[in-house]
Amino acid sequence: MEHLVPNNLNRRSVMNVNKIYKNTLVLISIFLGYFSYAFGIELNMYYPVAVGGPLTKIVDGMVAEFEKQNPDVKVNAIYAGNYNDARIKALAALKSGKPAQLSVMFSIDIYELIEQDAIVPFDDLVNTYEEKAWLYSFYPTLMENGVTDGKVWGIPFQRSTIVMYYNKDIFRKSGLNPDQPPQNWNELVDYGKQIVSKNSNTWGVMIPSTGYPYWMFGALTMQNNQVLMNGDGNETYFNHPSVVEALQFWKDLGSKHNVMPSGTIEWGTLRKNFLEGKTAIMWHSTGNLTTVKKNAKFDFGVAMLPESKRRGTPTGGGNFYIFKQSSDEEKKASMRLIKFMTSPEQAAHWSMATGYMGVSPSSYQTEALRNYVKDFPPAVVARDQLNYATAELSTFQTGRVRKLLDDAIQSALTGNESPKQALEKAQKSAERLLRRYQ
């Protein structure tokens, strides 16, 4: 009965409370310790998706795999809309003082990011010989948009080129060889005419001119052996005769040869047009390949874009960037994540799941991708085309300069101005914008 004495009880309960308190503290600190050990570093990463298909799931899966292999790093991969949205969100996060540590953003955002002093060059982050070699393990053409001022600022990840998808069934119906897509501009027009004359309600070719007109145009000008800008991003060549000629050809497809609808062609609905057999040929990002493969109810082929004076396409898509406002540890962890995501195995997996290309030659050496390519040869067209590829339009003031060119293209395609007029105007305005960067 002693323990019923109030005094005693009081003392005991006080002791108990103390004990509980202490134990809780110990437990909390153990938990905290565990968490800080388990999630030593937390990385925020924005990434964009520009084509259809369940790409977010694929990225999340790759990130989960990375976390499993690197339990000390926690990655929040945040889907941030299309390329523009991703850039806006990343830069807004930067201004708010709570930046992401790394992001996948448009490869052509490089000058904007440098001007905002947002990113660090990878050259400052690699130390060992092995790491330096890693920097040069990617396809050189894919590095073009990521290198300026002699430094590497972006590592290729979801990269594409423009390829030509064509409907073999329509080719057969039109009396064309389904295994021989047009090789040059003349054939493109001739085949187109044959297709239009043999089929009612089917166009020969569609090249999208909304969304990313300058990108498609970069292919046409490269085929005409002329690039759109210099490597320092402070000069454009919009009024070069070869460029004008390329725009004239694009316009003529619609207004003169009648193998393409006149006016502009919507980027977003083009794939559906192709899948519904409304056009025999479409030019589109290789990032669509897997979706087209899944949804096409007809026999389709994928080929390199045709040539005028040579073959050509711009590369496209997103690069990894590492942000300046992050600690050294975070930068190191970011490097680990980027190395993982671009490793041959992951790049091969990514390429098969989406149609984007493997970013390094060694990814095509992996067994998985080798077998995939054997069964599905279109998967290597984009890679083979890299030999003829050039950088995507990217300059200082890139948003404005890009819009100037987009407007000029659309103005010519809709017949408001002649290609020469439109491009001269764009060039003049671009020169004014870029003067202070020279």
Partner 1 sequence: MNTKISHHIYGWLLVMPAVILMGTFTHLPSVTTLISSFFSNETKKRPSIFIGAENYEYMFEDPVFVEAVMNNLWYSLGTIIPSIILAIIMALFVNSKLPGKTLVRMAYFTPTILPMIAVSNLWLFFYTPDIGLLDQIGALFGLESHNWLGDTNTVLACIIVITIWKEAGFFMIFYLAALQNISPDLKEAAALEGSSKLYFFRRITFPLLMPITLFILINATLNSFKLVDHLFILTKGGPNNASNLILYYIYEVAFSFFDFSYAATITIFLLVILAIISLAQFVFFDKRIHYR
Select the residue interacting with partner 1 from 183, 184, 194, 264 (CB under 8 A): 264
Cβ nearer to partner 1, comparing 239 with 351: 239
Residues of span 4-33 touching partner 1 by CB under 8 A: none
Instruction: Give the residue with the Cβ less far from partner 1, 117 or 131.
Output: 117
Q: 98, exposed or middle or buried, with CB in 10 Å at 0-12, 13-18, 19+?
A: exposed
Structure tokens at 237: 């060549």
Stretch of 214-222, 223-231, 268-276, 284-292 lying at the interface with partner 1 (CB under 8 A): 268-276
Q: Does the protein bind partner 1 through residue 418 (CB under 8 A)? A: no
Stretch of 18-26, 110-118, 241-249, 342-350 lying at the interface with partner 1 (CB under 8 A) = 110-118
Candidates 70, 137, 183, 210: give the one binding partner 1 (CB under 8 A). Answer: 210
Considering only 151, 272, 310, 370, the residue that binds partner 1 (CB under 8 A) is 272
**Secondary structure of the chain: what % helix, strand, coil (to 5)?**
55, 15, 30
Residue 205 forms beta bridges with which residues? 281
Q: Is 406 in the site for partner 1 (CB under 8 A)?
A: yes
In DSSP terms, 75 is beta-bridged to 43
Which x/- pattern over 78-107 shows residues binding partner 1 (rule: CB under 8 A)?
Answer: ------x---x--x----------------
Q: What is the CA radius of gyration of the chain?
A: 27
Which member of 148, 273, 326, 385 binds partner 1 (CB under 8 A)?
273
Q: 290 forms bridges with which residues in the sheet?
A: none
Figure out which of the listed residues 248, 262, 418, 421 binds partner 1, where binding follows CB under 8 A. Answer: 262
Helical (H) or strand (E) element with 155: strand 155-167
Q: Is 141 in the site for partner 1 (CB under 8 A)?
A: no
Task: Tell me if 416 contacts partner 1 by CB under 8 A.
Answer: yes
Is the Cα torsion angle 60, 66, 68, 70 positive or negative in sign?
negative
Q: What is the distance between the alpha carbons of residues 190 and 41, in angstroms, rounded to a whole number? A: 59
Determine the Cα angle at 51 with ends 45 and 53, to 5°.
90
List the one residue from 74, 248, 261, 353 that touches partner 1 (CB under 8 A). 261
Report the site for partner 1 in 320-349 (rule: CB under 8 A): none
Report how far residue 2's alpha carbon sits from residue 108's, in angstroms, rounded to the nearest whole number.
82
By CB under 8 A, tell whether 232 contacts partner 1. no
Under rule CB under 8 A, residue 263 binds partner 1: yes
What does the buried/exposed string (b/e) look like for 393-419 if buried means 16 or more CB atoms within 10 Å of the residue's CB?
Answer: bbbbbbeebbebbbbbbbbbbeeebeb
d(Cα 47, Cα 50) in Å, to the nearest integer? 10
Distinct helix (H) and strand (E) counts, the chain = 18, 11
Angle, CA 165 vertex, CA 409 and CA 169 arms, to 5°: 130
Nearer to partner 1, 266 or 431 (CB): 266
Q: Is 255 in the site for partner 1 (CB under 8 A)?
A: no
Residues 6+ apart with CB under 8 A from 143: 152, 156
Binding mask 116-135 for partner 1 (x = CB under 8 A): xxx-----------------
User: Nearest distance from residue 399's CB to partner 1, in Å?
Assistant: 4
Shortest distance, position 173 Cβ to partner 1, whole Å: 17
β-strand 155-167 against 279-285: which pairing, if any? antiparallel
Q: Which of 12, 241, 399, 432 binds partner 1 (CB under 8 A)?
A: 399
Q: Which is nearer to partner 1, 140 or 268 (CB)?
A: 268
Does residue 268 bind partner 1 (CB under 8 A)?
Answer: yes
As to burial, measured by CB atoms within 10 angstroms (0-12 exposed, 13-18 middle, 19+ buried), residue 370 is: exposed
Among 63, 112, 215, 249, binds partner 1 (CB under 8 A): 112
Rule CB under 8 A: choose which of 7, 69, 201, 438 binds partner 1: 201
Return the structure tokens found at 30. 């153990």
Q: Does 428 bind partner 1 (CB under 8 A)?
A: no
Q: Which helix (H) or strand (E) holds 160?
A: strand 155-167
Binding footprint of partner 1 on the chain (CB under 8 A): 84, 88, 91, 112, 115-118, 201, 203, 209-211, 261-266, 268-269, 272-273, 276, 278, 397, 399-400, 403, 406-408, 410-411, 413-414, 416
